[in-house]
Amino acid sequence: MIYPKQELKISRSIEDMKAGGEESIQYTGQGRGCYGPIKVGVTFEGNKIKDVKILEHSESQGVGGIAAEIVADEIVKHQSIAVDAVAGCTKSSTAVLTAVEEALGKAGKNINDYWIEIDKSITQIRGKIEKEADVVIIGAGGAGLAAAVSAHQNGAKVLVLEKMPLVGGNTIISGAAYNAVDPKRQSAQGIEDSIDKHYIQTYEGGDKLAKPELVRTLVEKAYPALEWLESMGMKFRDDIFTVLGALWPRSHKPEKPIGTGYIETYMEYIGKHSNDIEIMLNTKATELLMEGGRVVGIEAENPENIVIAKANYGVVIATGGFSANVNARNHYNHMWPDLTNIKTTNRPGAMGDGAWMAEKIGANLVGMEQIQLLPMGDIETGSLSGNIEQGVEDRIFVNKDGNRFVDEGARRDVMTKALFEQEDTLMWVIVDKHSYPTGDTKNNFDETIDFLLEDGTAYKADTLAELAKKIGVDPDNLIKSIETFNLAVDKKIEDPFGRTLFDNKLDAPPFYAGARMPTVHHTMGGIEINTKAQVLNKEGNIIKGLYAAGEVTGGIHGSNRLGGNAVPETVVFGKIAGESAAKEK
């Protein structure tokens, strides 16, 4: 099986080490990663870089941590610091390069001697290899890995092809919230909920443009799918919250940070069954192979080979959406201002590959114009990291004048449209000590508030007037906005924006602020499927041997996806797709 280890082994920092009977000095350096410094140790044989070790880091396991190892290996392989960053992990990659440069300087080396341009042209003639499995899956993100596990549990041998150098897709970097009606956890918090309520909010929250039967499948199977994850060892916290745009407190938070828990759960299962499940990284599917009106396999390519993957039972497309494809989103966009310069929360692999492959053989694409923007993008990168909110109930948004401008518990499209009407499309998220009782309290992306303050992403003050000064808004407006909000929390007035989701007042210093801007987050349109995850053609008929799951599909969310519904979609329909494909014998 070909896949990276999902847990980075951190080497202990030592300054001197013996190698081959000769003393080899380890020179250290560090660079700033996503969540803190990355420290490396570099050893030499003469002027040759013998080894680059990652000594310390705080990056996400399975994402930045693995990327750091890949970059370190590439530096040694090419004897150069001109290696490429790992796609989707630029900051972690750059931190390693910076750290190695520092180590070179300490060793008295001329950095220019190691700035060697790498020939990236393919000079060798690629070979051709053939693979065969019962179920072949395109994409090793949340939906693809769920499908792989499910297919195996239903007796199939599985091959997964992933074009990126890492597994995880967007799931592994997501906020990870999982919406499900949960009788036990919700009842313990006094939260009333029902399958019908989740259905109505999802269907009406997407302006009734989704396929009702797909919505019903999602909401009915979300909790059983969560139990399926738990049966494989995944753990969720007991406290239920309301993630941005969820409309109701039914969001579950995994014990592990961001989406790593989902991917680690799948990969642990796959690792135990590696004789039956193979994952090929850096292998991009290029064409669906047809025979007698049926999909029978995939043609793919990687740097070494053309790969012909035969599927005895079926092919599952789980390649994600097209949020990172600027041309595609501009082509389909009819809802938003020009999206050319709007960044995305997604990893670079979200290009829509699977949808275009399926369309080429006659699959129907639905709802492609339904593109979701969030108001919560980092102002430099568009990513979700750095966001200081903990949940909907305990924060407000203010514009550059210090005024609230929207119901912060509304639909995501409503909030983002309101943000586009504000100066510079910029807002400040305001929270207080209720969200961060201590400096080491983490946000939903495993970042402590102290780290965000040090990084310059967040601002802190003991009074609202002082906070207003730090972020450049009118102090009187900010104070008035929060006073009005607090009155609404106490039910002394109706909230002027119609907000109904509240918990604590914003009255406990210190106060915190973080800037946010619109970012492309999710594409609701994609391949049309039925409740068995079978792909449908333009006439509404099943394309035999072809299944799809996750964000590559359309018709589940309508015009607006509720916050917290994406991850259960990957689990529910990934599980269904794997099972359906395994049973098509």
Q: How far apart are CA 309 and CA 132, in angstroms?
A: 6
Cβ(375)–Cβ(516) under 8 Å?
Answer: yes
Among residues 412, 499, 516, 561, the one annotated as catalytic is 412
Q: How far apart are CA 534 and CA 356, in angstroms?
A: 17
User: Any idea how long the chain is?
Assistant: 585
Helix (H) or strand (E) holding 319: none
Q: How far apart are CA 501 and CA 480, in angstroms?
A: 20
Q: How far apart are CA 585 and CA 27, in angstroms?
A: 58
Chain centroid to CA 309: 28
Task: Extract the tokens encoding 510.
Answer: 């210190």
Separation in Å, CA 392 to CA 6, 395, 417, 571: 32, 6, 18, 24
Pairing of strands 48-56, 294-301: unpaired
Decide if 126 is catalytic: no
State the alpha helices, DSSP H only, in 426-533: 449-455, 464-471, 475-489
CA-nearest of 583, 573, 569 to 174 is 569
User: In a 3-state reduction of DSSP, which class is residue 365?
Assistant: strand
User: In a 3-state reduction of DSSP, which class is residue 303?
Assistant: coil
Cβ-based neighbours of 233, under 8 Å, separated by 6 or more: 265, 268
Chain centroid to CA 378: 14
Phi then psi for 83, rounded to 5 degrees? -75, 160
Q: How far apart are CA 161 and CA 284, in angstroms?
A: 7
Q: How far apart are CA 369 and CA 482, in angstroms?
A: 37
- DSSP letter for 357, please: H
Q: How far apart are CA 553 and CA 95, in angstroms?
A: 36
Cβ(314)–Cβ(340) under 8 Å?
Answer: no
CA-nearest of 249, 317, 224 to 568 is 224
List, by residue number, the catalytic residues: 412
